[in-house]
Structure 1
Amino acid sequence: MNIRHLTFRLLQVYVAVVRLGSISRAADQLHLTQPTVSQQIKRLSEAIGEPLLDIKDGKLGPTQVGTELYHAALDALSRFDDFGSFLSDARQGIRGSFSIGVVTTAKYILPRLLGPFNRHFPGVEVTIHVGNRGHILQRHQHQQDDLYLFSHPPAGEHTLSGRFIRNPLVLIAPADHWAAYRPPSRFSELLQERFLLREPGSATRMVFEEWLRERNLQLTRLMQIESNEVIRMSVEQGLGLAVLSEHTLAEGRQQLAVLALDEFPLHSHWYLVCHKNRRLPYAAANFVHYINDNLALCIDPRYIRNELELMLAHIAGQSSKSAPP
């Protein structure tokens, strides 16, 4: 058998002939002429090197070799039918996979987005990589993920970002701290307090330190802690004050006080980020569309600041380029 001479069309014609038991009926079903079907059956028989059809009791049917070929052809064609269905689903973004790199603070909001998305698209597999900003910046630089979630997005002409969720940074203190009972009128009254800060390069720390520089303020007592959870628990236990994302306080804030000072909360946002020069997988593109269309169902509306237009336009441009002419 010369398998290089086999084609899917030959197998489709052969399956139709065996099923219908007639060259002419197969030709009608396939919208081919009878001589064309006869010629293709001849080509297939020559490629196999054995007769495939014969007449028994006045009926056209497969030989023993032809019966085995018929079953093999059904297996092959059905597998490609399955593949065709998968490809259709994948192009709609309802099957497939993508990965997302997430800075540590964003892990408080990502489940609120992925949970509803997964219920609508259970056929999509999502891989999540969580790390501090430096680690996720490195993954972004090496294009290791399809999408990224930053509160302070990286710059660069090949980076595309869109803010979509407000990320207020609030000033917190232990529930029994003096400032919880008589909030100071100015932040400068707190400069002698110990402040618990994330590591250098953290977006929350960057925003806070920039705010301090703009006002020519300098903290005198610092403790560095590389975990939002540990900072929150340390504030609860009286180790100091901190500026944290309000989203990190969704749980366990009963032992904390959010200080109501002028200019707080500080303004920050969550950004969805991708590479301009990298094609998003269909599933990732569908996730962006889902966020854009259903954000109010996933996130408290008071936090929404949806500006994903550029990213959606980028996805639309990719789709038009990949569409068949």
Structure 2
Amino acid sequence: MHRLNALTFKQLRALRAVTELRSISRAAEELGLTPPAVHSQLKALEENFTCAMLHRTGPEAFAPTPEGAALLVAFDKADASLRQAVYMIEALRSGKAGTVVLGVVSTAKYFAPELVARLKRELPEVDVKLKVGNRGEILSGLEDRAFDLALMGRPPRNPPVSATAIGPNPHLLVAAADHPLAGRESVSAEEILAEPFLAREYGSGTRVLSERFLYGLDAGDPAEVIEMSSNETIKQSVIAGLGIAILSQHTITEELHSGRLVALRTPNMPIVRKWFLLYPADRPPSGAAGEVHDRILALVEPIFARTLS
């Protein structure tokens, strides 16, 4: 171990230069040193290992001994690793490398994977980790600093966040294609309240939106509210004819195109909310998180245009 402690990169660079250029004088010129300085580095190296690292092949020509060649192999590997480390440090500082955790509410899972895939193509050395949860889970993750960035609807009051609107999030009142209310020119408040209404759990952004809509009808309480734990379950239940529901258009684009779901025509529909990209107010994104934040702002518009068409 004492030999490693005495080993320096100057000595190894001198050995490498003399080996490549076959001359101490040419190696000195390459390294910006005097020939005696290069000779001194080589002498220290050989004294450290108590063996010759070079042997003469001519009046001023040198080649590595087997011991010198073994040391150069190790030096080349170390030099390559250090160059890679320098590259990664620069990439980390510039935001081109690192790990970024992106939390998204479950409604966003219908477009967030495509967004993350594009981020990975544009920033191949940034590891973007996608975490999906309900609104409460995403807010908890922001508060606990588990997420660098988050995608959701209505920004919270707590924890304090900085939020940027990134696109529309229209919500539709939907029913199965063969539902009695489907295809009607207008559906009344009383008719809506007479139907079983499928809704997310309390705390969900979609649940809050649905309750505000039903309350705003000002025609009494719904006949029945059936609580379900996911948008996917609600969607399949509506298709099966179990009731009607308010869902983000992002979650039902394919079903609307295929005709398995229809949007009911009623006043105050669609309800157009916005998607927000946000981060903790006291921790502005920097490095890779800052780069991902800016790329999301640039990438999301065409994704929304496709998913809402």
Between the aligned partners of 1:238 and 1:8, the Cα distance in structure 2 is 75
User: Is there any run of 5+ residues in structure 1 with no aligned partner, and where?
Assistant: 304-325
- Give a deviation string over 1:105-130, Cα, whole Å, max 9, x none: 11011123123333334444332222
Q: Match for 1:84 among 76, 83, 86?
A: 86
Q: Following TM superposition, by how much is the alpha carbon of 1:78 offset from its aligned partner in structure 2, in angstroms?
A: 1.7
User: Counterpart amino acid of 2:183?
Assistant: Y
Aligned length: 304
Q: Following TM superposition, by how much is the alpha carbon of 1:88 offset from its aligned partner in structure 2, in angstroms?
A: 4.1
Task: Name the TM-score, length of structure 2 as normaliser.
Answer: 0.84
Between the aligned partners of 1:31 and 1:131, the Cα distance in structure 2 is 60
- The structure-2 alpha-carbon separation of the partners of 1:32 and 1:296, relative to structure 1 and needing over 3 Å to count, comes to farther
- The structure-2 alpha-carbon separation of the partners of 1:166 and 1:7, relative to structure 1 and needing over 3 Å to count, comes to farther
Q: Which residue of 2 aligns with 1:203?
A: 205
- The structure-2 alpha-carbon separation of the partners of 1:45 and 1:298, relative to structure 1 and needing over 3 Å to count, comes to farther
- Give a deviation string over 1:3-59, Cα, whole Å, max 9, x none: 223333432233122211222212222233334333333343344444433434322
What CA RMSD, in Å, does the superposition of the two structures yield over aligned residues?
2.9
Does 2:254 match 1:251? yes
Which deviates the most, 166-175 or 259-268?
259-268
User: Counterpart amino acid of 1:44?
Assistant: L
Q: Which residue of 1 aligns with 2:152?
A: 150
Between the aligned partners of 2:158 and 2:17, the Cα distance in structure 1 is 57
User: Is there any run of 5+ residues in structure 2 with no aligned partner, and where?
Assistant: none
Between the aligned partners of 1:214 and 1:134, the Cα distance in structure 2 is 24
Q: Which residue of 2 aligns with 1:66?
A: 68
- The structure-2 alpha-carbon separation of the partners of 1:115 and 1:32, relative to structure 1 and needing over 3 Å to count, comes to same
User: Counterpart amino acid of 1:31?
Assistant: G
Does 2:129 match 1:127? yes
Q: Which residue of 2 aligns with 1:316?
A: none
User: Counterpart amino acid of 2:3?
Assistant: N
Q: Which residue of 2 aligns with 1:19?
A: 20
Task: Name the TM-score, length of structure 1 as normaliser.
Answer: 0.81
State percent identity of aligned pairs: 34
Q: Following TM superposition, by how much is the alpha carbon of 1:206 offset from its aligned partner in structure 2, in angstroms?
A: 1.3
Q: Which residue of 2 aligns with 1:269?
A: 274
Between the aligned partners of 1:5 and 1:301, the Cα distance in structure 2 is 63
- The structure-2 alpha-carbon separation of the partners of 1:132 and 1:74, relative to structure 1 and needing over 3 Å to count, comes to same
Q: Which residue of 1 aligns with 2:170?
A: 168
Does 2:227 match 1:228? no
- Give a deviation string over 1:257-290, Cα, whole Å, max 9, x none: 2022222111322222223445757443332222
Q: Which residue of 1 aligns with 2:118?
A: 116
User: Counterpart amino acid of 1:182?
Assistant: R
CA contact (8 A) 1:112 1:299 kept: no
